[in-house]
């Protein structure tokens, strides 16, 4: 077997994307994951699939925000290169809050204004128009245009198909010990929180929404638990 240029441990969203883009660039790639090709143990399996760099910039640094904005243009390009279609919609994000969280909403609005972000304050009628399931429950909201939503599970599946078609050396259901020495030019650890046992200070990032079906806009539940 030919020695791969790149070995990737962990085939969640990042690991798969890295393997896919590397093989498209001409690299010989091997990928390892303790779970199956479905990616059911990855963070991407349970995430809400939101691509919301403007909203995330409330708390993120400028460099992270800039990379997020750049990704908005990359996603449609990458999806077009996959062998099967994946749901993607860039109709924006609604930022909602309950009355007791008004202070947080004001802070967010001020942060957007300081960054000259294209955020619009809208009333309940416009909110209901954008997302009918909300009705008139929220008297006001912030609308962030151009942010997107993707079917993350479908994306994991599509990339696994692309890897198979590219004849990438995929080692599914293969646990790799931290001390293992893989025979590859470069080894990249993409295990994420799966590496917690080996990196004691590693911590996860708080999830903001559950995977669900959204009608018109991707609804960010930072200040409101709508189903509670």
**CB neighbours of residue 34 within 10 Å:** 16
pLDDT at position 20, please? Answer: 97
Q: Look at residues 44, 45, 43, 55 and name the one whose alpha carbon lies nearest to residue 217.
A: 55
pLDDT digits (tens, 9 = 90+) for 96-141: 999 999 999 999 999 888 888 889 999 999 999 999 999 889 999 9
The model's pTM: 0.82
Distance CA 86, CA 154 (A): 6
Spatial strand order of the sheet with 6-9 comes to 169-171, 29-32, 6-9, 186-189
Percentage of residues in the chain with pLDDT exceeding 70? 89
**Residue 48 near residue 210 (C-beta atoms within 8 A):** yes
- Contacts of residue 94, defined as CB under 8 A and 6 or more positions apart, other chains included, come to 127, 130, 131, 134, 141, 142, 143, 144, 217, 218, 219, 220
Phi-psi region of 102 (alpha: psi -120 to 50; beta: other; left: phi over 0): alpha
pLDDT at position 59, please? Answer: 83
Which domains does the chain possess?
Answer: 1-47+151-195 (3.40.50.720), 50-149+207-228 (no CATH)
CA angle 205, 211, 55 (to 5 degrees): 55
pLDDT digits (tens, 9 = 90+) for 27-77: 999 999 999 999 998 888 988 888 988 888 888 888 888 888 898 889 999
DSSP-derived pairing of the beta strands 169-171 and 93-97: unpaired
Least confident of 179-183, 196-200, 216-220: 216-220
pLDDT at position 210, please? Answer: 34
The CB-side HSE value for 68 (13 A sphere, CA atoms) comes to 19
């Amino acid at each position: 077997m030919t020695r791969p240029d790149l070995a990737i441990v962990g085939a969640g969203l990042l690991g798969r994307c890295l393997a896919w883009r590397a093989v498209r660039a001409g690299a010989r790639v091997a990928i390892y994951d303790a779970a199956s090709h479905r990616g059911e143990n990855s963070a991407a399996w349970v995430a809400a699939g939101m691509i919301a760099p403007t909203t995330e910039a409330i708390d993120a640094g400028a460099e992270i925000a800039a990379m997020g904005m750049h990704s908005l243009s990359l996603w449609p390009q990458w999806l077009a290169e996959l062998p099967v279609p994946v749901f993607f919609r860039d109709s924006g994000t609604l930022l909602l809050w309950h009355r007791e969280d008004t202070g947080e909403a004001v802070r967010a609005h001020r942060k957007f204004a300081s960054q000259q972000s294209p955020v619009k304050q809208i009333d309940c009628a416009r909110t209901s128009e954008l997302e009918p399931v909300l009705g008139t429950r929220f008297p006001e909201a912030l609308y962030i245009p151009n942010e997107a939503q993707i079917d993350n599970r479908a994306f994991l599946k599509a990339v696994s198909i692309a890897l198979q078609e590219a004849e990438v050396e995929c080692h599914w259901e293969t646990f790799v010990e931290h001390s293992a020495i893989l025979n590859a030019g470069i080894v990249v650890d993409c295990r994420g929180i799966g590496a917690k046992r080996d990196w004691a200070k590693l911590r996860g990032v708080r999830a903001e929404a559950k995977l669900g079906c959204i009608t018109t806009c991707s609804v960010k539940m930072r200040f409101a638990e709508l189903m509670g």
